[in-house]
Structure formats: structure tokens, C-alpha cells
Structure 1
Amino acid sequence: MTENTQQQNPAPTTELPTQYAPAEVEGKLYERWVERGYFTADAGSDKDPYTIVIPPPNVTGALHLGHAFQVTLMDALTRRKRMQGYETLWLPGMDHAGIATQNKVEQQLAEEGKSRHDLGREAFTERVWQWKGEYGGRILGQLKRLGAGLDWTRERFTMDEGLSKAVQTIFKNLYDDELIYRAERIINWCPRCLTAISDIEVEYQDDPGELVSLKYGEGDDTLVVATTRAETMLGDTAIAVHPDDERYQHLIGRLIKLPLTDRSIPVVADTHVDPEFGTGCVKVTPAHDPNDFAIGQRHNLDSITVMDERGIITVPGPFQGLDRYEARSAIVGALKEQGRIVAEKRPYMHSVGHCSRCKTTVEPRLSMQWWVKVGPLAQAAGDAVRDGWVKIHPEDMSKRYFDWVDNMHDWCISRQLWWGHRIPIWYGPEGQVVCVGPDDEIPTGEGWHQDPDVLDTWFSSGLWPFSTLGWPEKTADLEKFYSTDVLLTGHDIIFFWVARMMMFGLYAMDGEVPFKTVALTGLVRDEFGKKMSKSNPNAVDPIDWMDAYGSDAVRFTLAKGANPGADVPIGEDWVQASRNFANKIWNATRFALMNGATVEGELPPVEQLSAVDRWILSRLNKTVAEVDAYYEDYQFAKLSESLYHFAWDEVFDWYVELSKTTFFAGGEQAKVSGRVLGEVLDVMLRVLHPIVPFVTDTLWTTLTGGESLVVADWPTDSGFRDDAAEREIELVQQVVTEVRRFRSDQGLQPGQKVPAELTLTGTALAPHEAAIRQLLRLQPAGEGFHATAALPVAGATVALDLSGTIDVEAERKRLTKDLGAAEKEKADANKKLGNEAFLAKAPDNVVDKIRTRLTKAEADIERITNQIAALPKG
């Protein structure tokens, strides 16, 4: 019924342990997969390639749920493609993570009472390499715990020799094409990390501040400006007003006195100023604000830097040496003494940028830095998506991508760090500037020196899809596996990383895109939807959950929550439920093996199959088709739900239970059903394998005697359908479900046997009487049978004799009490809903809740009334 091209071996006689113990299985099984080379790609293969490069985790990192989430999904994609016959490469590696790693080592040195300057650049860099060797890459070992099928023979690091050559090559190419340049501009400066950081490394949040109104000038030349950063007034070089603002026409072009200094500054007219905001006057500090810098450029204003790299005031005078915040208070105090505070300080919430690494408030600062001219690169990156060469999934995320690439500013790529790729620029004694490629000679001689800065971490990670495959060399890997198929990553780094890779990939690879699809995921959150953070008690170490419940349970929980682009809530009870699912697969397969499930021989012809057999094979093929469609659309939550429903509900709870009477009876039909059950389990374990690889591989090799699911064939939908059998079994399910509900309502225990008479003649249910009785614990109606309840369902009638099985009067008393409570609830709800004054004042959600209570009460009344009527008459 399904097409599986792999030759099956007879099932071995090895019995499964009574319980599944992940800790005893997972580590050994993963080592076996790696030793057998299942994950090692062959660049010389004639198979179609399928490539994913892992978003390189920081060398400082440890596995967190966000990593586990994305890795689970990437592993599922690559495992399925490998089973489908593709030459699959999933390439692992790490990012040197410039600022983050340098901070780690500096913290370590601080504990020793030292700084990096005590060691010097060379010794400090060597210390970082030592740290990397000792602590770095822990996360890669943890990925093995998760079952990640990565090609460890191709592991890369953004500062290994090959990737360093790629960085130097592309820098040289961009420089020669005048797409890299050096210029003095306003940058984001972190006074803690002591480096420039890019716009996307600044996190903005509303911080409380104080808005102060200051009076500049004297007499008729007085102007009032409002600021939250009074300390920067020491670097003011103009006051700007709108050219059409009639209030200040007489002052445009005049010089006014700058308080607390011996300087006078001009009043300039600039359309950037909003005349409706505040007083319509703006202080201009070109060295410490990007908008002011632009005004300064337009009016040829001086740029005066007032603080050093640590945020300490450098302007000679009484404020020199003060921290920026100390200076703010001192300057406001001095202005107040001079009577220049027009309005007292008042609280003011405003958006303030913070370093994403250390959370220090960022300081806009005029600085000489290296830049990438992103205009033509960003245009190409946008066009690749617009023209359909790259698909963004979900599609509605494309807008965020376009908003970024279509409005991208030039990228500051230099960092004032010691750990990273050194900028390959040499300066000569006569002002020479030489960019050195990997094959160029380094200038030597007196006075020559290399630029001290290193490149932004995202510069090297932006090359990841092709540098990891050997570029700039024309390697077999590059020829076979580029461009990659899918980039699966969080929507939060669409700006950091996705756009960078698009720009560099198109530039370096002659217009060939770095990936064909960008599949964006959400972020993992706790079960209440709150962001997980190390500083909050809701942070979870996934290793702890893997230790407690097994890696398959963690993987299945993450995949089950993975709706495209949406955040993923997760709680420990959900992982426990997934552990129960793994146990269910184990126990049901063990039962099947003990009761004749086999993969030997061909499936019996259709005419030999029972309706139950045909039903489950029809459902099996529909599930395979459904799962395939969901994979192609990156709908991991839906495919996981589909697999869960098929395995637990349809195979284990229905097919196995409906077939027990056949198995217990033995004979030829039992052999037929045993072969069907073997087929179903074989295919079910295959389609489950990419999500839960450990338990499925263990069970499948026991069932089939095959080598491993990692290299087994992916099942295909044969097209077999039997809608008539599906309708027939749906009727059986209706009868069983309805009678079970009735039994529960009557307070019967699940295993309690009840005499019953089934009227099934002439219905499709007749062949299933034995199975129905088995599932419902219904005994034949013998002598003295007296039907106390009759249930018409699905065209049949099930009559039950409940006399002697329950305490009728006690049950009638209990139900009557419940009926009274339901009727009171109905009355209360009707009273409130009939009160016009209440309805006029109550919020909509409160009214909706009362309407819901009324609906439930009415349903309860009907249900309980029917239960009372069905009780045996006294």
C-alpha cells in the first residue's frame, strides 16, 4: 500500500525491554551514527544536493532552548531529505563572537586584577585562543546530545585559516571596488566595551530622564532650548531654527554667547527643525548626535568632541574629568546659579540606546571608522527576494526584510577590539594606504603599520554560506553544495545576519543567491508567553530536560510548537507529555512485536484485508501525504500534530485495539493483520524519525532488522485510499465513543463489565460486534437480561442492563443535586443578562463570559436530565 524501496530484512527475535530508557540508548546510538559516516556528505556524489549551514553559535555559548528549537527543525529537514535520497550536507561551526568573547576573557583577567592592556595585544589574543580551546565549542558537544545530524568532518570556525582567507579576500575586493571606505562619522560608541557598534547592535528602551530648558544668549539675542543631555552643550557649535519660523528671523546668522564657555555660536536656519516642537530652537552638537552632525555638514560647522572613549569630559574647565552623568548634574547646577534654567527639571521618558552586549547606554560619538557602502549591495539583496530568487517564509515577514534592506545606512564594520579579524589595511610613513589581500605581500620597512581595528563579527559570519564551503577557492564542496537550500533562523536576526549574507553572497558568488529559502522562526518563550532570560527564574537549560525526559521528548515538544514566524511557548509539563508519547510508541511497538507484527513478505492483496486493515492503510497514506505537504511549507507544528494524532489515536488507540480480537483468535486473518500492523509501524516510524530520531531508530531496527532509519528510505504515498472503509470505521468509533461517554456519565469504572444487547443487523457495524464488545467491556445478554437504557447511535442500538452495577438511588441523588446546581447557574446568568443597567456598564468580555456560562449551564441541564432518565427505574 506504500512504496518503500529499501529491501527489508526479517525482523530479529530480540525482544525490547519492558520500558524505554533514553539515557541508555541515545548516547551510544548517536556515536554509532557518526562512526558509520551517516552524516558525512560526499561532494563527488551524483545525487541531488541539499544543503543547510547551521547559524554559527557563539564560541562563548551553551545550549539554550532557542538553539535546541532551531537545531531540531534543521535536523528534521536534513534527516528527511537524506531519507529521500539527497546528498545532504548540514554543516556545523562556531562564530568567534568578537565583543562577547573578548568580554569573557577580560572578565577573567579582572578576577586576576589585570586588564588586557597589562598583557598587550599579542599576549591577550593568545589568551583568548586558550580560552576558546578550553571553553569554546561546548555547545557543539551539547548539540550531539540533541541528536543533531551534522557533518562533523566539515566543522568550521569564523577565524580558522580558510575563513580568514575568505574575509581578507572579500575585504580586498570590496575595497578595490570602492565599496569599503574610511570616514569620520557619528557612530554608536559603547563606553564599557570601548568600541563602535552597529545600529542593529543597539537596543532601544524607554528610560526616565529629565528635560531641562536652558537660556542661551543675552537680551534680545536670547534663545531657549530644551535638552535631556546638558553635558553635550560644551560641544555646541550652533543653534538651529526653521528658516520659515518668523519668531527667529532677526537672529538667523547672528552669533550668541554659549553659556559656561568663552565661545559664541551662530544661529543657523535648517529645515530639519520642527518649529512646532518645544520652542522651535535646537542646540547643535555635531560630534555627539547624528542629526546634529548632518546639520553641521550642511552649514560647515565645527565638530567638538567633549568626552573621551569612557564617557569622561575632556573639555578644559571645571567639568573636565567628570563622568558624563556627573557632568550633567554639575552643568545644570552651574546654569541654575547663572539664572539660565528657564524651566525646572521635569521627568521625561525617552528612547535611549543600549549596547546589546553589556547594556551600557550608548554614546553617539564622532569617530574615524571603516564603512561598507551598502547601496548597491542592499539593492541586489532586495531584488533577489522581489524577483523570486529567494523565498521568505512566512511571506508576511518579507515586509520586515524590505523595510531594512531598502532603507539601510552604510555599515560601520570596524571595531576597537583585539579579538577578531584584523582590518587588512597598512599605513605608510608618507601617508600611504595599502589594502592587502591574502596573496599580496605585506608592506615592510620603517613607519609601516597595520590598522589596529578588527572587523565586526557579522562581517565574517556574513560569508558563512560560501566561506565554509571553501571560497575563494573553487572547491568541490562549493561546486556541489552552493547555493544552500534553506536558511532556518530566528526572525530577530533578519537584520543582523540574513541581510548581510544576502549582500555578500550575491556579490562574491556572481549573483548566485546564498540560499533559496529563508524560513523564519519565532522565539522560545515560557508557558505563559514570557521571554526566557538568564536573569529571570523562567530560564531553562534544555540539557536538564533531556536528562529527565530524553532528547526525543524535548525535540517533539519544540517541533509541536513551531508555527512559522510565531513565538513558541514551552513548559515542562509539555515535555512530560512528549515523554509519554515516546513511551507510548515504545510500548505499542513492543505489543505489536509480541503479537505477530512483521514486515516479512508483500502486503496481502486488498481482498484479503479486513475493513479495519483497509482503514488504517488508507489513513497511513493520507498521513504520509499530509506530512510531506507540511514539510514543504515548513509547518512543523502541523506535521507534528498530524503524526501525533495518527500514531497515538489512530494506530495505537483504534487500530491496535480493534485488531486485538483478531490477534487473540489467531489463524490466517491474524497473520494478515500482523503484516498490516508491521507495514503501518514501519512507515509510521520512518515519518516520525526526523522529529524523534532515537526511539524510532531503536524500534525500527528491531522491527525490520534494517541498518538504521538515518539511511532508510522515506516512505511515499502509494495513492491507496479506501473511503468506504474509513466511513465504516468512523461508525464504529462513533458507537464506542458514545457508549464510553454514557458509561462514564453513569459512574461506571472503565473495566467494569456490563450486559448488553447490540442491534447491528443490516448495518456496517455487524462485522465489528466482537471488537465493539471488547472495547466497551460489554457482555452478551444472558438470562434475566433487562434493558435499563437503550442508546441509538450510528444506525444501531446498544441496550444495557445497569441493574446491579450501580447504586441507582445514590446516583439519582447525585445527579439531582448536580441538576439543581446547573439550574441555579442558568437562573443567575439569565438574571444578569436581563439587567439592562448591568449590560450598559459591564465590559464586553465580562458579558461574554456570562453568556458562555449560560450556554454551558443549558448544556449541563440537558445532559443531566438525559442521564437521570436513563437510570434504571426503581
Structure 2
Amino acid sequence: MTNEAKNQARTELPPQYAPVDVESRRYQRWVADGRFTASDDGDKPAYSIVIPPPNVTGSLHLGHAMDHTIIDTLIRRKRMQGFEALWMPGMDHAGISTQNVVERQLAEEGLSRHDLGREAFVDRVWQWKSEYGGKISGQMRRLGDSVDWDRERFTMDEGLSDAVQTIFKKLYDDGLIYRAERIINWCPRCMTALSDIEVNHSDDDGELVSIRYGHGDNAIVVATTRAETMLGDTAVAVHPEDERYKHLVGTEVELPLTGRRIPIIADEHVDPEFGTGAVKVTPAHDPNDFEIGQRHGLPAPLIMDERAVITAHGPFLGLDRYEARPAIVAALRSEGRIVAEKRPYVHAVGHCDRCKTTVEPRLSLQWFVKVDPLAKAAGDAVREGKVRILPLEQEKRYFSWVDNLHDWCISRQLWWGHRIPIWYGPGGEQICVGPGETAPEGYTQDEDVLDTWFSSALWPFSTMGWPEQTKALEKFYPTSVLVTGYDIIFFWVVRMMLFGLYAMDGQPPFKDVVLHGLIRDQFGKKMSKSAGNGVDPIEWMDAYGSDAVRFTLARGSNPGADPAIGEDWVQGSRNFCNKLWNATRFALMSGATTEGPLPQPEQLSTIDRWILSRLSHTVTEVDAQMEAYQLGKASDTLYHFAWDEVCDWYLELSKPVLMAGGEAATSTRRVLGHVLDTLLRLLHPMTPYVTEELWLALTGGEERGESIMVAEWPTAGATDAAAEKTVAGIQHLVTEIRRFRSDQGLKPAQRVATRLSGLDRAGLAEHEGLVRSLARLDEPSGEFTATAKLAVTSEVTAELDTRGTIDVAAERARLEKALAAAKKELDGTERKLGNEGFLAKAPADVVDKIRARKAAAESDIERVNGQLNALPSA
């Protein structure tokens, strides 16, 4: 390629950045060129991250977008650093969510899943998945995710199904999976058990009813928010040391409305200070009551079916729980059994995470994982430093879960999901069937499926081919880091730790866990559809470009913190992308180049040595911040270097040199090309599209089939303290003169004759031309008269001739108005501070604020008087 062709390639950059013209084209090219593909072979060090698998029913929301931006930034940087970087993509089958979606479709056709039968229904779900599932994959491409699409997995694909069966059988054979009757969370709408973390609790209005059981001296009063469950009471419990009821312990009391007699028992679980100190015990419909019942050998009759309809014989048979409650209270009232009623009574109520139905605690035969030995290993892995939780304060949240785990209910009464691999024989035999095995003839398989999180817990190793010992596992497991929101630390993080350590011979599934916060709106409120403040990131991408959304999310992604993000943030990031575009366009039009070595320091101007020194500091800072997962700080560092130092200062300081031409201009063109080349590489992981487009234009790499994706990650060079000191002096001088000009009423572009004194003493004499250029100062002429004077530093003084450049009368009027306002503020603060009564009563912080206002007013008066004195006579 000739130099002329290279220059042509470097200068073909449109006047404005149009993301819509760039993003799809660039992404398709990256995929076609295999830029995202990771190899299981080779000598490159491995770096791997698995995607938090989005639900197949889902679409991209801001939380996903933040996850993906952080992960993609880490992956792209490591790829540029020479690592074999794998970002593993895939989706979760989302058992309850997906089944609900398809059941709603069937309902519109007047059908239920039972009309189709299990096999046909599952086929229908697969059909839905093929046609509508995975919407989020297209959105991931839009965002710029550099995932290895050739490895995309689904938690119901054949390989992952084998992994599920394998670990189930291993746990079962090791005695860590068992079947038992326990109180579980039951959703009467979804008709399935739920784990604790699939239940959302809220404070709801209800009623507290106090009921008298028994008669006369042997009567005892209990209070309940769920009067309908009294039909299943099998005891009343009191504390063993409660003197009020010691004489009743061991006796029986009549259960109203039923004709049954139930015992009064003593149990230390009862809080004698709460309510009447006596509690009704319903073992089949309350987890605490179940434990009491187990200790005392109480029966546990179910009085509701799966749809929360009363099944207990009597007048309430067939009533829904919400119909039964007022009916039972009315019947008790008619018998004089109601001692007290409190409405509304606010109490915590559990709701199904999927359909929002009130959850019913219910005794049920389910499958459980015995978590104690698994949880101990998961806790020890963090305590021993095998796994880091970041930020460190999130360790407490992790330990609060892992150290207090209850056995995990893993069975779900659904049809969509991994069916439990237990088969039952005609004589009650029970066997667990692993991959490739078959059950004996005449055996039937358990009807339930596994909790979705069971297969998700295997994600870091099942996606790499386990239980086969694949090259991918050998190369990329354990994964390098897990990035996710702190809100699913138990949903997913803990469970991956449980199964990863168990299945992979004590190797944890990741080395670092980075927990980011939850995105809030610009007012700090949690985003949600119901609150009306949720944002579809695709809308922001359409309006401002994907890079603007990514950069916004990166700037807000400090570990553990909840960022408040509004559309103005995204607009600011869009402006930043435009600033980069304009700066690179200017550089190309000015002849900036990346060809050849950088000139030696002694051949460079002070300005060029300064920007190279600042660039080295930036590389060092960004590297340290990225290694600490402080993407927010790294983004800010790059933002301010690019906008403040490169665009606002270096380009302006370089313009006179570039316009003058000669050897100095040639050196500056090379330095400018190097600075932008390095800056674009540093920014690429966060803003991949615009940096690819600009870098290829700057370097001419398009024709050579290059990509910034695989360009080397920058390393810090030498720093130059002397050059930095000199330019800091120039910046201070120009900034103060600009401020003074503004105070004098001069327009920014207006040139004014000025005498500069003391530049030689300040070591800035050789840069006087630059100072005059940036501060819009002309050399004084023969008719020069100093009408305004500024002592910039102890050495440098600027004297300006403002005659004819400002409307003196208008400026004097403006300043006198400002002086009057400052004096009024000073008088007000002095009156308050002189009031002894006020000082005695006012809080210290209020007094401090008034003192600060007084000091500010005094400063304003001094400043404005100085400006008035500096004005020329009218």
C-alpha cells in the first residue's frame, strides 16, 4: 500500500459520527472475522467469563446492559493484552416464566396444558423457544457483546442435560439429595413449589383476629392473621416457663367449629411476650408449626388443596382460602369466640416472584439438597482466599447466606424443565438414572422437574463440556471472574459455589466475584415497570448510539454502589463520542500519523513532551483501576484526559505549531497520532464501535484487515515532570486571564491589546506566543493604555487595554448591581451572627453555613470592587 493510499484511507472520515451507519456493519465484520472466537489450544494465558444466562423469555434491561458492559470491557481489554479471552454466551430455560408464557398462549386458544398432555405441551414450548425465545441475543449484538457465539449454550440442550443428570446422581448416591415431606412455599397459581428466594415479601394490610379456644377457666386465646388455617390446628403451644399457662399444659381444649379436642403443649419456640403468649399450631400450613409438630409428634392434616381451596369436611368445604377466611370469622363471631379484631393489620406476606400470587405454606412431599457440607466448602473457599468477593464489604452478605442455608427444595411441579431422574418401581422401588442409563421395564419417572437454578448452578463448567474432561475445561476453568448484581448473590452466586466446589474436586467456579449495584433513576429511585421509571436501553441506543449507553453504564459501575442514571448522562456520553470524532477528524486533516517511531524527547517541544507524560500517567492509572474492577474511575480518568487535556489543551496548544509547519509540526503530527492511537485503544473496551471506526481511519488499518480489537493494549512510557510543570504554568496563566477577561465583560473571541510582564521570571517567556493565542491577547501598540490589571502570579502580571472593547456604562451598572446584592447578603448574615438568641438556639451546622455565606459575601464585595476600580473612566 503506497503512502498516498494510506493517507487517503486515513482522511475518509465523515463530518459527523452516525452510530447507525457504523454499529451493525462493524459487529457483522467482527463476527465474520472470528474476532470473538477463543481457542482451546495454544500458549496464550486463559481469561474466561461466563455470561449470567438471561431468561429465554427475557429482553435486555439496564441491569443486563450494565452486566454486559462490564464483562465486555474486561474481556476486550484482556484480549488486547494477549490473553485467550473467552466470553461464554447462553440462555436459561426459565422454567416457571417460560411455562407461564406458553400457558397464556394456550389459554387464548381455549386450551390448557392438560388438554395437550405433557409430551405435546413440552413440544409446544420448544416451538415457542425456536420462534420467539432469545430476543436478548439480538440485543446483545446491538450492545456490542464480544461473546464466542460458536459456543452458545442453553440450559436444556443435550450436553447440559447430561450434566444435570450426572450431578443429580452423584449427589443422590452421596446421600445429599433426599425426598421428604416438608413445609414449602406453594404457589396456587403456578401450581408448584418455590424456593425461599423465589418469594418476594411485602408489608400488606390484613387482619389480626384473637380467638378463644375452650370454655371457662380452661379457655385460652390465640391470635392469627389466617383464620382459615384453624381448621388444621392440632395443638395450642405456650412457653414452658410461662406461669399463666403452666396449669393448662398437658390438658386438652376444644377446637371451635370442628368438635375436635387438641392438646395444650409447652415449647420453647413460643415467645411469651408476643400477643397472648399462646399460639395455634397448624403443622401442615406453617413452617414453624411444622417444626413444633415434629418435636411433639403432632398430626399434620392438610386442609387445602393445590389451588388453596378448603378440603376439610364441614360447612367451608370447597371455599377458596379468601372466601373461607371471612366465613370462618363470621361463624366464630356468632359463637362468641372472637375476643378482638384488628383491621388493618400490616404484616409481611410472601408473593410468587413470577405471578405475584400470595404464597401458601404447605406440607408437601418434595426433593431437597442437603446443603450443610456444600455450604461449609463454599464458605471456606472465600475465608481461605480461593475466591475474592468484591467489594470486600459484600463478603458479609455472602456469609449471611452461605452460613445460614436451609436444605434446598429442588423439585417443581412443572412440565418444562429438567425432569427429576428418579424412577419408581411397581413395588415402591426407587432408582436414580444417570446419562445413558435406562430404568427397568415397568418403572415410571417422577413427574416433577428441577428448579431452574439447579441447572444454572452448573453453568461455569457444564457450558464447557462437563462431565466430559474437555480441552475447554482444562483451559478455561476455573473462570477468571463472575460479574453480576449483588441482588442475586444467593440466587446464583452461592449455588454455583456449592456445585462447582463439589463437582470439580474443590476447584471453585471463579477466582473473583465482582458485585455491582442496582441501577436507579436520576432521582435515586429503584427502576421498575410498575413505578413507570424503567428504561429500555434499546431506546437510548437508538437515540444516542450503543457506545454512549455503554460509556454511561461503565462510568456508573463502581462495585457495590447503586448508580443513579438519567438520560442526561447518556446525552453527555454521546457528546463525548462526538468530541472524540471531531478531535480525530481534526488530527487527520492536520496530517497526524501513526507511521514510524516517535521522535526522541530532545527533538520534541515542551507541549509534546507534556502530553506524552500525561498519557503515560493515564495509562498507569487506567491499568490500576481496571485491574481493581473500578471501571467507573477508569472511565472518568479517560474522559477527563480526552476532553480536558487532549481536546481542550493539547489540540489548542498544537494548532499554532501545525499551522506554522516545519520540523516542529512534523514531530507534533506524529505525537498527535500516537496520543490518539493510544487513547482510542484505552477507550475501546468501553466504547468499541466509535473507537474501531476512528482507529482504522487514523492508522489506515482497514485495507490491511486490522482491528483495534486485537491491537496491543498500551503500556506506560516515561514521564516528564519538568514539561508538566511548565504546561501547568501555561494553563494557570491562560485560565486566569480568561477568567479576568470574562469579569471585565470581554467576549471570548474578542482580542485585546495586553502587556505581559514577568514571563521570563516564571520560565514561560518562550511560550508567550501560545499564551497570547489561547487567551486572545494582541501585542500592545504605540497607543496602548492599561485600563485593567491582573496579578496572575507573584511573577506574572497582565495589563489590558479595554478601551473600546466593552460598554463601560453597561458593565459598571452590572457590577454595581452585583455589589449591592453582595452587600445585602453580608448585612443579613451579620445580623444573624450578631443575634445572641439565634446563636444560642441554632444548630452548629446552620451557624457554620451562615458564617460561610458571610465569608463568600465579603469575597464577592472585594472582587466586584476590584473590577469596578479596574474599569476605564466613561
TM-score (norm 2): 0.97
| 8 A Cα contact 1:647 1:684, kept in partner | yes
CA distance in 2: counterparts of 1:192 and 1:620, whole angstroms:
60
2:805 counterpart of 1:810: no
Give, in angstroms, the shift of residue 537 of structure 1. 2.3
Report 1:819-830 matches (<5 A): 819-830=819-830
Report 1:64-75 matches (<5 A): 64-75=61-72
> 1:421 maps to what in 2?
418
- Go from structure 1 to structure 2 and tell me whether the alpha carbon gap of 1:389 and 1:187 turns closer, same or farther (over 3 Å shift): same
Per-residue Cα deviation, 1:770-795 (whole angstroms, up to 9, x for no partner) = 11111111111112111111212232
Per-residue Cα deviation, 1:137-181 (whole angstroms, up to 9, x for no partner) = 110111100111000000000000000000010000000000000
Q: What secondary structure does 2:318 align onto?
A: coil
> 2:866 maps to what in 1?
866
- Go from structure 1 to structure 2 and tell me whether the alpha carbon gap of 1:850 and 1:331 turns closer, same or farther (over 3 Å shift): farther
2:167 counterpart of 1:170: yes
CA distance in 1: counterparts of 2:255 and 2:40, whole angstroms:
70
Q: What secondary structure does 1:717 align onto?
A: coil
CA distance in 2: counterparts of 1:331 and 1:171, whole angstroms:
45
> 1:494 maps to what in 2?
489
Give, in angstroms, the shift of residue 385 of structure 1. 0.3
Range with greater deviation from structure 2 (757-766 or 258-267): 757-766
CA distance in 2: counterparts of 1:842 and 1:499, whole angstroms:
51
- The sequence identity of aligned pairs, in percent, is 69
- Go from structure 1 to structure 2 and tell me whether the alpha carbon gap of 1:13 and 1:409 turns closer, same or farther (over 3 Å shift): closer
> 1:632 maps to what in 2?
627
Q: Which of 470, 479, 482 does residue 474 from structure 2 map onto? A: 479
| 8 A Cα contact 1:98 1:419, kept in partner | yes
> 1:52 maps to what in 2?
49
2:616 counterpart of 1:618: no
> 1:442 maps to what in 2?
439
Report 1:780-859 matches (<5 A): 780-794=779-793, 795-838=795-838, 850-851=850-851, 853-859=853-859
Q: Which of 601, 606, 609 does residue 604 from structure 2 map onto? A: 609
> 1:714 maps to what in 2?
713
CA distance in 2: counterparts of 1:114 and 1:842, whole angstroms:
71
CA distance in 1: counterparts of 2:511 and 2:316, whole angstroms:
57
Q: Which of 690, 696, 699 does residue 701 from structure 1 map onto? A: 696
> 2:131 maps to what in 1?
134
CA distance in 2: counterparts of 1:402 and 1:600, whole angstroms:
55
Larger relative contact order, structure 1 or 2 (CA cutoff 8 Å, min sep 6): 1
- Go from structure 1 to structure 2 and tell me whether the alpha carbon gap of 1:823 and 1:443 turns closer, same or farther (over 3 Å shift): farther
Per-residue Cα deviation, 1:237-278 (whole angstroms, up to 9, x for no partner) = 000011111111111111110000020000001011111111
Give, in angstroms, the shift of residue 347 of structure 1. 2.7
Range with greater deviation from structure 2 (149-158 or 564-573): 564-573
2:313 counterpart of 1:300: no
Q: What secondary structure does 1:784 align onto?
A: coil
CA distance in 2: counterparts of 1:112 and 1:18, whole angstroms:
54
The one-letter code sitting in structure 2 at the alignment partner of 1:654 is W
Give, in angstroms, the shift of residue 11 of structure 1. 8.1
Q: What secondary structure does 1:276 align onto?
A: coil
The one-letter code sitting in structure 1 at the alignment partner of 2:745 is G
Report 1:267-666 matches (<5 A): 267-445=264-442, 448-666=443-661
Q: What root-mean-square deviation, in Å, do the aligned CA atoms of Structure 1 and Structure 2 show?
A: 1.5
Q: What secondary structure does 1:322 align onto?
A: coil
Give, in angstroms, the shift of residue 852 of structure 1. 5.0
The one-letter code sitting in structure 2 at the alignment partner of 1:634 is Y
- Go from structure 1 to structure 2 and tell me whether the alpha carbon gap of 1:541 and 1:844 turns closer, same or farther (over 3 Å shift): farther
The one-letter code sitting in structure 2 at the alignment partner of 1:671 is T
Give, in angstroms, the shift of residue 828 of structure 1. 2.1
CA distance in 2: counterparts of 1:11 and 1:41, whole angstroms:
34
| 8 A Cα contact 1:10 1:600, kept in partner | no
Per-residue Cα deviation, 1:473-498 (whole angstroms, up to 9, x for no partner) = 11111111111000000000000000
CA distance in 1: counterparts of 2:862 and 2:806, whole angstroms:
22
Give, in angstroms, the shift of residue 346 of structure 1. 3.6
Q: Which of 157, 182, 196 does residue 154 from structure 2 map onto? A: 157
| 8 A Cα contact 1:757 1:780, kept in partner | yes
Per-residue Cα deviation, 1:520-578 (whole angstroms, up to 9, x for no partner) = 00011111111111223211111111111111100001101111111121111111111
CA distance in 2: counterparts of 1:850 and 1:132, whole angstroms:
65
Give, in angstroms, the shift of residue 623 of structure 1. 0.3
The one-letter code sitting in structure 1 at the alignment partner of 2:503 is A
The one-letter code sitting in structure 2 at the alignment partner of 1:475 is T
The one-letter code sitting in structure 2 at the alignment partner of 1:784 is E
Per-residue Cα deviation, 1:369-392 (whole angstroms, up to 9, x for no partner) = 000000000000000000000000
> 2:3 maps to what in 1?
none
CA distance in 1: counterparts of 2:728 and 2:714, whole angstroms:
26
Per-residue Cα deviation, 1:697-735 (whole angstroms, up to 9, x for no partner) = 1111111123111011001113x0111111110010101
CA distance in 2: counterparts of 1:449 and 1:616, whole angstroms:
75
CA distance in 1: counterparts of 2:173 and 2:615, whole angstroms:
59
2:25 counterpart of 1:28: yes
CA distance in 1: counterparts of 2:522 and 2:841, whole angstroms:
34
| 8 A Cα contact 2:11 2:588, kept in partner | no
2:269 counterpart of 1:264: no
Range with greater deviation from structure 2 (174-183 or 131-140): 131-140
The one-letter code sitting in structure 2 at the alignment partner of 1:575 is V
CA distance in 1: counterparts of 2:630 and 2:288, whole angstroms:
44
Q: Which of 728, 731, 737 does residue 730 from structure 1 map onto? A: 728
Give, in angstroms, the shift of residue 124 of structure 1. 1.2
Give, in angstroms, the shift of residue 845 of structure 1. 6.8
CA distance in 2: counterparts of 1:131 and 1:844, whole angstroms:
66
| 8 A Cα contact 1:526 1:571, kept in partner | yes
2:263 counterpart of 1:246: no
| 8 A Cα contact 1:50 1:481, kept in partner | yes
Give, in angstroms, the shift of residue 500 of structure 1. 0.5
- Go from structure 1 to structure 2 and tell me whether the alpha carbon gap of 1:848 and 1:361 turns closer, same or farther (over 3 Å shift): farther
TM-score (norm 1): 0.97
Give, in angstroms, the shift of residue 684 of structure 1. 0.6
Give, in angstroms, the shift of residue 121 of structure 1. 1.2
Q: What secondary structure does 2:63 align onto?
A: helix
Per-residue Cα deviation, 1:19-56 (whole angstroms, up to 9, x for no partner) = 11110011000100110001000101210000000000
| 8 A Cα contact 1:11 1:702, kept in partner | no
Q: What secondary structure does 1:517 align onto?
A: strand
Give, in angstroms, the shift of residue 660 of structure 1. 0.9
| 8 A Cα contact 1:52 1:487, kept in partner | yes
Per-residue Cα deviation, 1:408-453 (whole angstroms, up to 9, x for no partner) = 00000000111100000011110000100002122222xx211110
CA distance in 2: counterparts of 1:99 and 1:555, whole angstroms:
31
Q: What secondary structure does 2:9 align onto?
A: coil
> 1:3 maps to what in 2?
none
> 1:757 maps to what in 2?
755
Give, in angstroms, the shift of residue 10 of structure 1. 7.6
